[in-house]
Amino acid sequence: MIPFFDHTPAAPKICGITTIDDAYGVIESGAGALGFNFYAPSPRSIPLGSDLAWIRKLKADYPDVARVAVVVNPDETLLKKLLETKSFDAIQFHGDESPEFCSVEGIRFPHWIKALRVRSEENLRAASNFHTPFLLLDAAVPGTYGGSGHTIDWRLASWFVADHPDKRVILAGGLTPENVAEAVSQVHPHAVDAASGVESAAGVKDPLKVREFIASAMAG
C-alpha cells in the first residue's frame, strides 16, 4: 500500500524528475509521488534508451513513495520498456489517449492516472469516460501536453471535486510555492502536482522551492 494512492490529502507529486539527486532531494522534502516524463519533446523527458536502474533503486530506498511514468500517446515499444523495468507504481496518460486505450493499457500497471487538459466545463465532461479514480486536472495550452506553467480555473476544479466524490483528483497547472495553499483551500484535491513551479531551470528542481511548495501544500 502506497499512501499517495490511498490517503487524502496525499503528499504532493513532483513531476519531471530527471536525476537521482533531484529524486532524493524531493523525497526527503516530503513528496508522496515522483513523476518521470517519457515524452521526448519535453525538456524534462528521460530518453527511452536510458538505464532506469536508478528509478528502481528509489523503490528499494523509499518503498512508500509512488513512482509514476508520464507518457503522451505512447506506443507499444514505450509501454513494453516501462513494464520491463518494473520501476513504476503507476502510469499517467497525459496525451489524447481514448478511454478504451487507457483501460486496456492502464491495467498493465498497478495504478493508472488520466490527465485532462481543462479550459471549460466541457473538457471535464469527458472525465466519466475514464474508468479510473485518479484524474489529473491540468491547464489546456495549445501546442503543449503539460508543464506550461499556466493555471486552470480553480472554480471549475472545485466544482468537479465536489461533484465527483468517487474521483481522486490531482490538481496541476501552474502551481507554485506562492499559490498552492490557496489552490488547495479552494479545490480540496486528493493531491497537487508541480513541475515548472519548483524549478530553477527546465528539468532542474530547486530544493528551496520544493520544500516551500510541499510545506505550503500540506498546510493549505
Sort strands 199-201 and 204-205 into parallel, antiparallel or unpaired: antiparallel
Annotated active-site residue 64? The verdict is: no
Rounded CA-CA distance 176/149 in Å is 9
Catalytic residue among 15, 89, 102, 193: 15
Rounded CA-CA distance 213/176 in Å is 6
CA–CA distances in Å: residue 105 to residues 3, 93, 162: 23, 10, 29
Give the list of residues 6+ apart from residue 94 with CB closer than 8 angstroms, or none: 39, 70, 71, 72, 115, 136, 138, 145, 146
> Does the N-terminal peptide bond of residue 142 adopt cis geometry, omega within 30 degrees of 0?
no
Catalytic residue among 22, 89, 138, 193: 138
Annotated active-site residue 138? The verdict is: yes
Grid cell at residue 91: 502510469
Cite the active site residues. Answer: 15, 138
